[in-house]
Structure 1
Amino acid sequence: MDLTLNASRREMLAGSALLGGALLVPLTACAATGSPGKGGLAANTWLAVTPDGKIALALPKTEMGQGILTAITMIAAEELAVAPEAVQVTIAEGDAARFAPLSQGTGGSTSIREVWQPLREAAAKARAALLQAAATQWKAPVADCVAHDGAVLHKPSGKVLTFAALVPVAAAAPLPKDAPLLSPTEFKVLGKAQRRLDGAAKARGTAEYGIDVIVPGMKFAAIAECPIFGGKLAGLDEAAAKAVPGVDAVIRDDDALMIVAGNTWAARQALIAADPKWDAPPAAKGAQQAAIVGTVAAGLNQPGTVAINADPKVALPAATRTITAEYHQSFLAHATMEPSNCVAQVKDGACEIWTGSQIPSDAREAAAKALGFPLEKVTFHNRLMGGGFGRRLEPDMVVRAVGLARRVPWPVKLTWAREQDMTHDFFRPAYADRFTVGVDAAGRPVSWTHKIAGSSIMARLMGPAFKGVDEDVVDGLNAPLYDGFPRTVTFQQVESSVPTGWWRGVGPLRTAFAVECMVDELANAANIDPIGYRLQLTSDPRARAVLEAVRKQSGWDDKRTPNSGLGVAVIHNWDTYMAAVADVSVGADRQIRINRVTVAVDCGQVVNPSGIRAQIDSGVIFGGSAALWGEITIAGGAVEQSNFHDYRVMRMAECPVIETMIIDSHEKPGGMGEPPCAVIGPALANALHALTGKRVRSLPLQKGFEALA
């Protein structure tokens, strides 16, 4: 399978690989298209007022638990002067042309940031068209008309015309080229807490995820893939597999075995009976964790490719002291609650696909390429996802499923078992960072050298277009919070047999951990309070505001109990500012426990404060789990972890108290899906140092802490 895509990081994260009906609740099949229907008023290709006066919105992004479905509805509702419940939304099919220049991809915390302006402008034009239609009928100035609750009110007379009554007139006239947007002082929906519009359907089990899809005549398939990276299927007991009741087909790929049956249980039992044998090159079989991460660390001794050059114009006093430190981050799995799955049917020269994808239009193109079909012969029905975290930015599961579907006469649902999903991921890369920082007599940096080594996701995706610096790896370093001193950053690409891909937080997550831990080390070396030190180094008022807010709310300056340590981290990424203070303790069993996390966030204009709080809760738990325990290790060329029994995630009883403060702001909206994951890791590491005096420089923290005992 050739999945190479030639694109810049911007195109991958905010464009074709990551950025796309009306909102229907409960969420089931994508029956609506979002088109206005005959006689409707189309604001653009994905927002319309239908002839019955309803608002039809096709979601240009994907809902994977982050709340974009509710947030985008609120934006449309605000500018169209209706309640969010009045907007009918569908998750759109994969169709890049329909949503261009937006991409349907969902990742990099781009959804609100990219949809905010075009959606508001389209909704404002529709509102202006309806106001003009009403003014025409009443022979009144447009200024005397106001939209309210799905109707237009004539203020002087009190007359009212519903949107349904106005749509025919509005649709017959040209859409206004420009329309004023509402100011924040006029907002009635945005910034107000809104319950998740998909919450009831999900709670009642009526929402349809990819794994729930059933189509007429469908068969079920299970898959076993070679456990060793680069290995091949060498043999199987086909007769034993076919002897399992309900088995319909045994399908071989070079590196996988798939069983098609009348139900998933029969397919999985047949996989066991088949007892597949695998073969792999000696080099792949010999791949071991120590050698892989050792090679990454050794990459720091290479010159690397310069990503950021020190500014020669910055003249500072010579350093009175040099401080060095090296940080290491582990491979991570995505571990989504919903394992990989895809339903596909190939029939009469066409293909139909049902699954949840973060890149529905790109996955559609990948399927068409794999089948050798024209794009118009492939239909991609996107669905809700039970988590994505970057795993569903890859089209591999779709390509595998359509490859199976073309060889059987039925539509087929291919579902990966948790163990297969965990061991055949595109893992978050392992990284190594080395800092050499010169400081003056006051402990402030006068020079900063940062060397990075690790896998390049962009090199895989860009192919020959890659020029040596992975922009994702150094994301967050080009516009740092701390400036005023010359910085040099280099990147050394180091690859192994481990396939790598984006993980929730992408590049800024890894840079935040390394940089914020290093800044904490500098503060400790200068014997300066870590928050006070950061305030000395940044003049950014928004960064200072979130730092001051967490300082006060967390009780940072209060007297600490003997077994309590506080650590801080602050970030500015995804157009969002966020600071976190973590309160940790260590039990008699030497297990690290998170007691409380205080977060202050300035994400610009707030859409849904309930959604922001939910994202912070989610990010602290997801990112905290990874920072404390998350690690994928390799033995004999295979992943050692297979399920949640040996890939630990935070349990309910382990969850800390999480307090969130939202800073009032009317700056452009920032992202919220990934900042909490990025800020929690360094806050925990810094808190552990504050408590124990031991600096753990490798993730996961629990393993690193035990190694220092």
Structure 2
Amino acid sequence: MLQPKKLTRRRFLLSGVAVAGAMVVGWGVMPPRQRLRGREPLPVENGAVPLNGWIAIAPDGSVQLAMPRAEMGQGVHTALAMLVAEELDVALDAIKLIQAPVDKIYSNLAVMHDNWHFHPDDMGQTRRVATRMLEKVGRELGIIITGGSSSVADAWEPMREAGATARALLVAEAAREWKVPHAQVRTENGVLYHDISKRQAGYGTLAARAALGQPHEVKLKDPHSFRLIGQPLPRRDSRIKSEGTAKYGIDARPEGMVYAALRMSPYVGGTVQGISPGEVSGMPGVLAVIDFSGALPKNSGAGAGVAVVARTFWQARQAAAALPVRWNDGGNGSLSSEKIYAELSAALANDDGFTYYTVGEMEKAKDALRTIRSEYRAPFLAHATMEPVNCTAQVKDGKVHLWLGTQSSTFAVRAAARVADVGEDDVILHEHLLGGGFGRRLEADMVAQAVAIARETKGAPVQVIWTREDDMTHDVYRPAAVARLEAGLDGAGNIVAWDARSASGVLVHQFIERNLGLPGMGPEKHTSEGLYDMQYEIPNQRISHVAVDSAVPLGNWRAVGHSHNAFFKESFVDEMASAAGKDPVEFRRTMLINHPRHLAVLNAAVAKAGKPAEGRAHGVALHQSFGTIVAQVAEVSVQDKQIRVHRVVCAIDCGLVVNPNLVAQQVESGVVFGLSAALDGEITIKDGKVVQTNFHDFPVPRMNVVPQVETIITLSTERPSGVGEPPTPPVAPAVANAVFALTGQRLRSLPLKLA
């Protein structure tokens, strides 16, 4: 059941993380520890010599780059390799990726920036100090993670510094051997040159000696001299994915591997009451029946359940389906979506919640000539990655081997060590590509399952594969949310007061408890992001949130809180424009006078969209998330109450662009992902069980209905910001606003359905 949770502490670095005694002023103002050298040398190949904790160079001049970020379709293995190739002065195809060790120098500091609820316009000393402290906490925690649209932002300095340092070492060694000034040695495409004496040497011939020296000067390139950064280079993984030779977690085939199929509790929070393994032990190929319930922490997607291990997956699947299992509903047998929504609404009525942002004096709202009030809703959502959830594990001779694609090697290793009762250094992780992540593979429930099962298979590797039904009914879901918005207009039709209150579960509290073993507590920014941090210039604002405990497991879903709060905010802005009798675009422009980047993005999208075709209408939405500003114009038609999106124009300001091809691909991906949620995405609960089980009742857009997506990248000199998630939040409100323009119906609940 859902119970309102009182929030009394205003500022938390990371919910539940105690850094007692460490947050002293002297410690806080010092920079984080270095990120160039790890605890141990790189695991190099083919005689390569490490020049720092990121880069090694082989005798043939090829470059080996430690890659700590997961490739799940976003192109990060291309973008980050471009950063190093740029500063090292080598061709992109000279770089070979090797798996980064689990070392703190690879921790993601940029993702830590997103854990304190500062308003984007707040650039004061408090924010600067807090950001530095968050970076230091992140460096000490050493969490390796791919998420929060942070990979390029985090790598922008350390990976370029790694490339520049390696290049400086090579230059210093060439200057020493040739007895010439450092300034006379230049580099190009993996070769060192001294033009006066006509001498040259490949990187590979000097690497071993260079590694023993010291760089004369390390200097990052000026953006005006970039050769690779900013170029639309093809992706490094396109060929293997086109040919079908790319290796995903589900493709792992260690010698002697067996398979496990699962039966997990159909009830949210349910438990195993009893099983009858003898009923299936004689079926073809069956090796064991294993109850893994004790391996999973509270609020895991997997929950309690039983595995059937067999020689083939088909044999395991057939036996699992035939296995008699008795379930206990865990006290949630009456849980339903209707009750959850009712309790969220009741929480809003009875609890003021935590105020994330306030400006001006809300008492002045009484001066408004007209006040509009509306309630908006968003449902639970599943991740529905194309590659099913899977993990292969082996427990043998005091060691654990893992084969999987994961968004966090840190959490995967910790989960495996905990379940196998070994040290984290005894866990060997073999990372693979991910067939989609969207936040689902930040979790380690599949790892805990696989290791618990592998403990009982006498040293044989076991591959755990979830069916689509397993995945859909045992996800960690995007929280359901309810928002009540109230705003007042003055006589000129301007918004003079804005009051937004929302209620939902707190996913980060559950996430931290599951993956760090720490209690979730205090206010958590993801609940209200997209509402408290909007940049419309409204003089009087109050944005608050009521945190509500959730029996339903919650997790990070692409764009997290922005994914639904953008719908609430941008739909209500449109609603206010209509009440004021103003054009929705012009209405927004008047509230962006002091935000030129936002205004430029909005204008670019509107200009490119032009006029809608006959029988169609345009809807607009503007939203900032993960440091990136996105404006979208959706061109929509409605026929027989069916909403059809024909075209989406997306303008994006994501700072300095590393590879415009990758940006355009992620915009297209984010738009389609957001459209799927806007039109059809919904997870409902009935009698304590998830109703949706597969793509027949949790549909995604088919190719014949995917709209044309046009991307406009606005020029920027700011440092790179996120791209993978920001195109998703504006889709739903842009479509909903177009539907209103066509039909006059204001759709305030997701998914969007006409009456």
The more displaced of 397-406 and 467-476 is: 467-476
Tell me the equivalent position of 1:58: 66
Q: State the 1:466 CA deviation.
A: 4.2
Tell me the equivalent position of 1:295: 343
Tell me the equivalent position of 1:496: 550
Paired residues of 1:306 and 1:488 also in contact (CA < 8 A) = no
Match of 2:429 among 365, 380, 383: 380
Query: 2:321 aligned with 1:272, yes or no?
Result: yes
Specify whether residues 155 and 516 from structure 1 end up closer, same or farther in structure 2 by C-alpha distance, changes over 3 A only: farther
Specify whether residues 672 and 11 from structure 1 end up closer, same or farther in structure 2 by C-alpha distance, changes over 3 A only: farther
Matches within 5 A, 1:176-255: 179-254=218-293, 255=304
Equivalent-residue separation in structure 1 for 2:73 and 2:286 (angstroms): 35
Q: State the 1:465 CA deviation.
A: 5.6
The more displaced of 264-273 and 569-578 is: 569-578
Tell me the equivalent position of 1:448: 498
Tell me the equivalent position of 1:113: 153
Equivalent-residue separation in structure 2 for 1:142 and 1:551 (angstroms): 52
Tell me the equivalent position of 1:526: 580
2:263 aligned partner, one-letter code: A
Q: State the 1:291 CA deviation.
A: 1.1
Equivalent-residue separation in structure 2 for 1:53 and 1:391 (angstroms): 38
Q: State the 1:144 CA deviation.
A: 2.3
Q: State the 1:378 CA deviation.
A: 1.6
Equivalent-residue separation in structure 1 for 2:92 and 2:260 (angstroms): 40
The more displaced of 349-358 and 467-476 is: 467-476
- Name the SS for the 2:629 alignment partner: strand
Match of 1:432 among 461, 465, 482: 482
Specify whether residues 561 and 42 from structure 1 end up closer, same or farther in structure 2 by C-alpha distance, changes over 3 A only: closer
Query: 2:451 aligned with 1:412, yes or no?
Result: no
Q: State the 1:495 CA deviation.
A: 2.8
- Name the SS for the 2:146 alignment partner: coil
Matches within 5 A, 1:537-548: 537-538=591-592, 539-548=594-603
Equivalent-residue separation in structure 2 for 1:63 and 1:434 (angstroms): 38
Q: State the 1:40 CA deviation.
A: 2.0
Paired residues of 1:468 and 1:493 also in contact (CA < 8 A) = no
Paired residues of 2:380 and 2:477 also in contact (CA < 8 A) = yes
- Name the SS for the 1:56 alignment partner: strand
**How far does the alpha carbon of each residue in 1:64-119 deviate from its partner, in whole angstroms, 9 at most, with x for none?**
11110111111111111111111111243544466583642011111111111111
Q: State the 1:528 CA deviation.
A: 1.6
Q: State the 1:478 CA deviation.
A: 4.4
Equivalent-residue separation in structure 2 for 1:262 and 1:466 (angstroms): 41
Equivalent-residue separation in structure 2 for 1:312 and 1:657 (angstroms): 42
Equivalent-residue separation in structure 1 for 2:292 and 2:175 (angstroms): 66
Q: State the 1:517 CA deviation.
A: 1.1
2:546 aligned partner, one-letter code: Q
Specify whether residues 408 and 54 from structure 1 end up closer, same or farther in structure 2 by C-alpha distance, changes over 3 A only: same
- Name the SS for the 2:561 alignment partner: helix
Match of 1:8 among 11, 14, 31: 14
**How far does the alpha carbon of each residue in 1:352-399 deviate from its partner, in whole angstroms, 9 at most, with x for none?**
111111111122112212232221122222211100111111111111
Tell me the equivalent position of 1:575: 627
Query: 2:694 aligned with 1:643, yes or no?
Result: yes
Specify whether residues 58 and 216 from structure 1 end up closer, same or farther in structure 2 by C-alpha distance, changes over 3 A only: same
Specify whether residues 245 and 95 from structure 1 end up closer, same or farther in structure 2 by C-alpha distance, changes over 3 A only: farther
Q: State the 1:153 CA deviation.
A: 2.1
Matches within 5 A, 1:73-222: 73-96=81-104, 101=139, 103-175=143-215, 179-222=218-261
The more displaced of 294-303 and 80-89 is: 294-303
Equivalent-residue separation in structure 2 for 1:251 and 1:433 (angstroms): 44
Equivalent-residue separation in structure 1 for 2:44 and 2:261 (angstroms): 37
Paired residues of 2:44 and 2:50 also in contact (CA < 8 A) = no
- Name the SS for the 1:307 alignment partner: strand
Unaligned runs of at least 5 residues, structure 1: 1-5, 13-19, 21-31
Specify whether residues 157 and 519 from structure 1 end up closer, same or farther in structure 2 by C-alpha distance, changes over 3 A only: farther
Unaligned runs of at least 5 residues, structure 2: 1-11, 19-34, 36-40, 109-138, 294-303
Equivalent-residue separation in structure 2 for 1:459 and 1:645 (angstroms): 32
Paired residues of 2:42 and 2:50 also in contact (CA < 8 A) = no
**How far does the alpha carbon of each residue in 1:285-306 deviate from its partner, in whole angstroms, 9 at most, with x for none?**
1112211222122222122332
Equivalent-residue separation in structure 2 for 1:302 and 1:519 (angstroms): 26
Equivalent-residue separation in structure 2 for 1:351 and 1:168 (angstroms): 34
- Name the SS for the 1:202 alignment partner: helix
The more displaced of 433-442 and 326-335 is: 433-442
Equivalent-residue separation in structure 2 for 1:698 and 1:98 (angstroms): 41
Paired residues of 1:316 and 1:485 also in contact (CA < 8 A) = no
Q: State the 1:604 CA deviation.
A: 0.8
Equivalent-residue separation in structure 1 for 2:530 and 2:288 (angstroms): 50
Paired residues of 1:93 and 1:360 also in contact (CA < 8 A) = no
Match of 2:719 among 644, 664, 668: 668
Q: Size of the alignment, in residue pairs?
A: 674
The more displaced of 307-316 and 164-173 is: 307-316
Instruction: Compute the TM-score of the two structures, normalised by the length of structure 1.
Output: 0.91
Specify whether residues 91 and 531 from structure 1 end up closer, same or farther in structure 2 by C-alpha distance, changes over 3 A only: farther
Q: State the 1:276 CA deviation.
A: 2.5
1:235 aligned partner, one-letter code: G
Specify whether residues 659 and 312 from structure 1 end up closer, same or farther in structure 2 by C-alpha distance, changes over 3 A only: closer
Instruction: Compute the TM-score of the two structures, normalised by the length of structure 2.
Output: 0.85
Equivalent-residue separation in structure 2 for 1:139 and 1:445 (angstroms): 71
1:251 aligned partner, one-letter code: I
Match of 1:285 among 333, 345, 352: 333
Equivalent-residue separation in structure 2 for 1:665 and 1:484 (angstroms): 26
- Name the SS for the 1:645 alignment partner: coil
Specify whether residues 33 and 180 from structure 1 end up closer, same or farther in structure 2 by C-alpha distance, changes over 3 A only: closer
- Name the SS for the 1:519 alignment partner: helix
The more displaced of 97-106 and 628-637 is: 97-106
Matches within 5 A, 1:552-701: 552-555=607-610, 558=611, 560-588=612-640, 590-701=641-752
Query: 2:529 aligned with 1:475, yes or no?
Result: yes
The more displaced of 127-136 and 383-392 is: 127-136
Paired residues of 1:34 and 1:46 also in contact (CA < 8 A) = no
Equivalent-residue separation in structure 2 for 1:626 and 1:417 (angstroms): 21
Equivalent-residue separation in structure 1 for 2:155 and 2:619 (angstroms): 35
1:293 aligned partner, one-letter code: Y
- Name the SS for the 1:677 alignment partner: coil
Identity %: 40
- Name the SS for the 1:600 alignment partner: strand
Tell me the equivalent position of 1:360: 409
- Name the SS for the 2:332 alignment partner: helix
2:95 aligned partner, one-letter code: V
The more displaced of 376-385 and 637-646 is: 376-385
Equivalent-residue separation in structure 2 for 1:355 and 1:7 (angstroms): 31
1:204 aligned partner, one-letter code: E
Specify whether residues 42 and 128 from structure 1 end up closer, same or farther in structure 2 by C-alpha distance, changes over 3 A only: same
Equivalent-residue separation in structure 2 for 1:689 and 1:156 (angstroms): 71
Equivalent-residue separation in structure 2 for 1:90 and 1:125 (angstroms): 19
**How far does the alpha carbon of each residue in 1:492-532 deviate from its partner, in whole angstroms, 9 at most, with x for none?**
12233211111001122222111111111111111221111
Equivalent-residue separation in structure 2 for 1:97 and 1:181 (angstroms): 19
Tell me the equivalent position of 2:135: none
- Name the SS for the 1:201 alignment partner: helix
1:609 aligned partner, one-letter code: P
- Name the SS for the 1:621 alignment partner: helix
Equivalent-residue separation in structure 2 for 1:109 and 1:39 (angstroms): 32
